A and B are shown apart, each in its own frame.
Chain A
Amino acid sequence: MNTFGKTLVAGALVFTVSMTGSATYAAGDAPHAPEHHWSFSGLFGTYDRAALRRGFEVYKGACAGCHGLRLVAYRNLMDIGFSEDEVKAIAAEVEVPAEPNDDGEIEDRPALPSDRFVSPFPNDNAARAANGGALPPDLSLIIKARLDGANYVHGVLTGYKDAPAGKKIPEGMNYNAYFAGNLIAMPPPLSDEGVDYSDKTKATVAQQAEDVVTFLSWAAEPELEERKRMGVKVILFLLLLTGLLYVVKRRIWADVH
């Protein structure tokens, strides 16, 4: 490759790196949450099935009271190892408006696996009214909707610390090391033994945080495992094809050189 080539490639790399490092995201002045090792990171990462199940239990026990998961359907839980009967039972715990009956009245019916997770509040205003004016965001996409989402949410969940001396904490707010502005309306959602894990894992805050982030990552990117599996195959195929094309190219060009 000539100088033009080398420099342009180098430039492109610098550009790509600087772009990601430099893009300003709405992270406020909170420090970046520390890197955590996730079962689903890396080229071959998959969601830890046991963590997903425990994570659902944490979501249900600690988050679902205020945070919805409206883009995920109950049936999707079958993709991560819940049986059909379990899913039916989980769905039936809540009621949703049914189709109009023969008299044209709309009654409530138990939710079905085909329904999406029923949000805890009927609308944003009701959610704010019940939470001192703060809006608990829907968690379906929270991992994708934050920069470095898995580490960020993990950081916030484990970031409840004593405020530094002199920092004023207004009524109804809590100090959090990783939330933008360090003030968060959500009280610490996790506590040791705050959830009873069905697999008897010891429910420390760290364990719950890791499990629920794994679950929420799946909720945001349910296609991740299939995507990575397919990606490995596609790239191997393309490398082979490209290699063959290179050989063909050499042969065809042989008489020009």
Chain B
Amino acid sequence: MAQFQKPAWLDNGLVRWVDHRLPIFTFMSHELYEYPTPRNLNYWWNFGSLAGIVLVIMIVTGITLAMHYTPHTALAFDSVERIMRDVNYGWLIRYIHMNGASMFFIVVYIHMFRGLYFGSYKAPREILWILGVVILLLMMATAFMGYVLPWGQMSFWGATVITNLFSAIPLVGDWIVTLLWGGFAVDNPTLARFFSLHYLMPFVLVGVIVLHIWALHVHGSNNPIGIDTKGEQDVIPFHPYYTVKDMFGLGVFLVFFAYFIFFAPNYLGHPDNYIEANSLSTPAHIVPEWYFLPFYAILRAVPANFVGEWVTAWMGFVLIEAKLAGVLAMFGSIAVLFVLPWLDRSPVRSSRFRPMYKWFFWIFLIVCIVLGYVGAKPAEGIYIVIGRVATVWYFAHFLAIIPLLAKFEKTKELPKSISEPVLGGGGGAASGAASKPMEKA
């Protein structure tokens, strides 16, 4: 059986000398060797550490790219091509970084949906969840600015569209846009400050991730059954059990990642970004990177007049333009995640014991995919209708369905403990499913 023991190397003389002055080794022992982790975590729990590793890959490749990149509108595009053609293994470093951004979002989106499915955002992990949403926002800002740096057509026009959104903010909108641009259009000052901030933000991310992990380690991981651990029989030390499981998961992930880097490096990108930015020639369709498409769909889903009037009618005195309403909807789609722990008052965490929420979770996932699909399509015809319906559903899921389910859903009986799920009675099928990942693991 799993043992919670301090590692033998803690008794080493030098280690003890250092530890007495800076208890870094005690810290490591405490957070890895003695850190209790639920014994029933399935492979969906791999994606948190995976996200951390992708961030490290992004920082390492990014710092290397920055050694060769020139943040100037006249030189940026060519400097990227120089990396691709003349820098030793420059193509490799750049393709890792470029596809790494997509991988980061894939991993983090799975990580988030796992949290939604198993109720990881509920007490006492609300702050942990909120920090995660902050991480998502920082990632989005970082990725957006990074995409501008190669100074291709989509870089330029994406930057133009997105920065222009801020002009919808009442009173200070124009001022903010001028600040973002460093002038009166997306131009050299914009590129320079985006480069500077793109370099800075990942380190801010690291800081927030430290807080995220700190918050995690206070109460430990949630688990597929979603009940609290009730003693030694329910937990195993993080190291070596989850370190090796994470390593195995990392191997599988790297195969997936490597396929894109070496055999489909531009599959997730847009061909227009291999055309140098030209402020006089607008691409036929300006589309963001795939990981922003659902939010882009929400932005565009707001009708020109309808919501403006609707919101005006409700607020009475505040006149909101359609553009602002769209921007509010887009930011609202993330803002709503911040309050999710208080929207969902159901005491049961895991979907395994929430027969109705489970269905709505899957519908919600499909709605997000549909939004992504619509975001890639031109805003015309049937796509407008689908986009609006999906947007309404997105918000209804959080603001109506989840609060109502908390009130009316009849949840299944929870097992007594993680180690004895079968003895719980009633939840036979569910507990069978719960033990399955362990058999496989």
Contacts and interface: CB of A to CB of B under 8 A. Distances in A.
Given A20-B267, A223-B91, A241-B251, 4 more contacts: A14-B369, A19-B376, A26-B285, A246-B248
B24 to A, nearest CB: 25
Given A4-B117, A227-B92, A249 B274 contact: no
Contacts of A137: 275
A25 B270 contact: yes
Nearest to B275: A145
A76 B92 CA distance: 18
B18 interface: no
B262 A231 contact: yes
B300 interface: no
Interface of B: 1-2, 39, 42-44, 78, 81, 84-85, 91-92, 95, 106, 110, 113, 117, 236, 240-241, 244-245, 247-248, 251-252, 254-255, 258-259, 261-263, 265-267, 270-272, 274-275, 283-285, 287, 290, 293, 351, 362, 365-366, 369, 372-373, 376-378, 433, 436-441
Interface of A: 1-5, 7-8, 11-12, 14-15, 18-20, 22-26, 28, 43, 71-72, 76, 137, 140-141, 144-147, 149, 220, 222-223, 227-228, 230-232, 234-235, 238-239, 241-242, 245-246, 248-249, 252-253, 255-257
B272 A25 contact: yes
Which 4 A-B residue pairings sit nearest by Cβ, starting from the closest? A231-B262, A242-B251, A26-B284, A145-B274
5 contacts: A18-B373, A19-B373, A242-B248, A256-B438, A257-B439
A36 to B, nearest CB: 18
Contact of A71 (B2, B85, B244): B85
Contacts of A18: 369, 372-373
Contact of A24 (B1, B376, B438): B376
Contact of B440 (A1, A140, A231, A242): A1
A5 B262 contact: no
Contacts of A234: 258, 262
B427 to A, nearest CB: 14
B244 A248 contact: yes
Contacts of B287: 23-24
Contacts, number: 149
B43 A249 contact: no
Given A19-B290, A25-B271, A238 B373 contact: no
A18 B439 CA distance: 34
Contacts of B290: 19, 23
Contacts of B245: 249, 253
A71 B81 contact: yes
A155 B266 CA distance: 21
A245 B244 contact: yes
A141 B270 contact: no
Contact of B376 (A22, A149, A222, A242): A22
Nearest to A27: B284
Nearest to B152: A145
A5 B241 contact: no
Nearest to B86: A73
Nearest to A223: B91
B274 A144 contact: yes
Contacts of A141: 81, 274-275
Most B CB within 10 A of own CB, among A7, A227, A253: A253
B251 to A, nearest CB: 3
Contacts of A245: 244, 247-248, 251
Contacts of A19: 290, 293, 372-373, 376
A12 B39 CA distance: 27
Contact of B258 (A3, A15, A20, A235): A235
Contacts of B267: 20
B433 A256 contact: no
B244 A3 contact: no
Contacts of A2: 42, 433, 436-437
Contact of A3 (B1, B263, B433): B433
A255 to B, nearest CB: 6
A14 to B, nearest CB: 7
A12 B372 CA distance: 12
Nearest to A15: B369
Contacts of B271: 25, 144-147, 149
A25 B274 contact: no
Given A71-B81, A144-B274, A227-B91, A255 B1 contact: yes
Contact of B255 (A20, A239, A255): A239
A25 B251 contact: no
B361 to A, nearest CB: 9
A25 B154 CA distance: 11
Contacts of A140: 81
Contacts of A8: 44, 110, 113, 365
Contact of B265 (A14, A20, A227): A227
A6 B247 CA distance: 22
A71 B78 contact: yes
Contacts of B259: 231, 235
A223 B91 CA distance: 7
Contacts of B265: 227
A212 to B, nearest CB: 18
Contact of A249 (B244, B283, B369): B244
Contacts of A147: 271
